[in-house]
Amino acid sequence: MAVEDNRYKNWEHWKPRRWAWEFLIRNEKFLKRCDMAKSTGEVEQKLVADEFGLKKFKHYAEPFSKNKSDPKIRAPKFIRNAISVFANTEMGDIDRKVRITLRPGNVAIVFDVSNGAINGKGLERQLGRAMQSLYLRAMGYSTFYSQRSTDQKLDSNRETFLKYLKLLDAKNKMRTSRGAIELTNTTGRDPEDHRDSTKNALARAEEICREAYLNIALIEEAPSKPVSPESLMKSNKKTKAQTSKVARK
């Protein structure tokens, strides 16, 4: 590709968090929100951090991590603490169809909060069963992740990620998808074939910028060894006790 500069220096050695950050700082919405938050104070900065899955606010213009000129800078840390809620609790007896996409590590559980289901301890029982199911799936997912090292997980993706970043930078430089496609055709490839494949790759790159960068960051944050059943059950009992306390109020 024609887009070459020091932005990709040492990309072969980037860890998942660095790849996630590189995609996020190419998210136009994130750039605008950062600039607004920089001048409005800590409250707005916290909102931006929460919105984009950052543990702490970090402006896109900052270096990824500390350097000689500014040793106080820290690498960003990503979190996935948000949940999505889809409800059909309005008045009426009409079913609501919901279409969702379950990404790696997602679990969907349906609760019934109708009167008959929550009388007595119905809701508490549903929450208990849901927690047990979640812990079991979390344990299985932890085991799955522990079977492959971070480097193994990235080996098959590094070159693809680099291609995506260059496409995004080309689009930013040319201001249009068409311009990016033309700029990156440096091999004499058939224009039509190049256009189709590049259009699909650019769409995927933009999807990563919007949300999937968090999935990349989680590769690094996955536990190095499986979570033990004992630790999960201990946590389960603690959560059930807290839930029971809330239900009695």
Return the higher-pLDDT residue of 247 and 166: 166
DSSP run (H or E) holding 239: helix 229-248
Residue 75: which pLDDT band, with cuts at 50, 70 and 90? very high
pLDDT of residue 102: 81
- Looking at the DSSP bridge assignments, the partners of residue 54 are 78
If one compares 122 and 149, the residue with the highest pLDDT of the two is 122
- Give pLDDT, residue 31: 95
Of 31-35, 127-131, 222-226, the least confident = 222-226
Residue 231 has a pLDDT of: 55
pLDDT score, position 223: 47
Q: What count of other Cβ atoms lies within 10 Å of the Cβ of residue 223?
A: 12
Q: What is the pLDDT of residue 184?
A: 57
Angle formed by the axes of helices 122-146 and 229-248, nearest 10°: 160
**In three state form, how does the secondary structure of 56-98 look?**
CCCCCCCCCCCCCCCCCCCCCCECCCCCCCCCCCCCCCCCCCC
**Structure confidence at residue 62 (pLDDT):** 92
Return d(Cα 243, Cα 247) in angstroms, integer: 6
Q: Are 174 and 180 in contact (CB under 8 A)?
A: yes
pLDDT at 227: 47
3-state secondary structure (DSSP) of residue 142? helix
Going from the C-alpha of 208 to that of each of 88, 105, 168, 174, 226, the distances in angstroms are 30, 16, 11, 20, 27
- Residue 82 pLDDT: 60
| Per-residue model confidence (pLDDT) at position 224 | 45
pLDDT value for 186 = 55
Contacts of 100 (CB under 8 A, 6+ apart): 84, 86, 108
The token pair that represents 249 in the structure block: 């109020």
Residues 6 or more apart in contact with residue 186 via CB below 8 angstroms: 1, 2
Question: 77, 28, 72: which is closest to 57 by C-alpha?
Answer: 77
For residue 125, the one-letter residue type is R
* Dist CA 144 CA 148 (whole Å): 8
pLDDT tens-digit series, residues 45-64: 999 999 999 999 999 999 99
Q: What is the pLDDT of residues 149-204, one digit of tens each?
A: 556 566 668 888 998 999 898 888 876 666 555 655 555 566 666 667 778 888 89
Helices 42-51 and 28-40, axial angle in degrees (round to 10): 160
pLDDT digits (tens, 9 = 90+) for 6-47: 789 999 999 999 999 999 999 999 999 999 998 888 999 999
- Give residue 105's pLDDT: 74
Residue 144 scores a pLDDT above 80: no
Residue 58 identity:
K
Please give the Cα distance from 169 to 179 (Å, whole number). Answer: 11
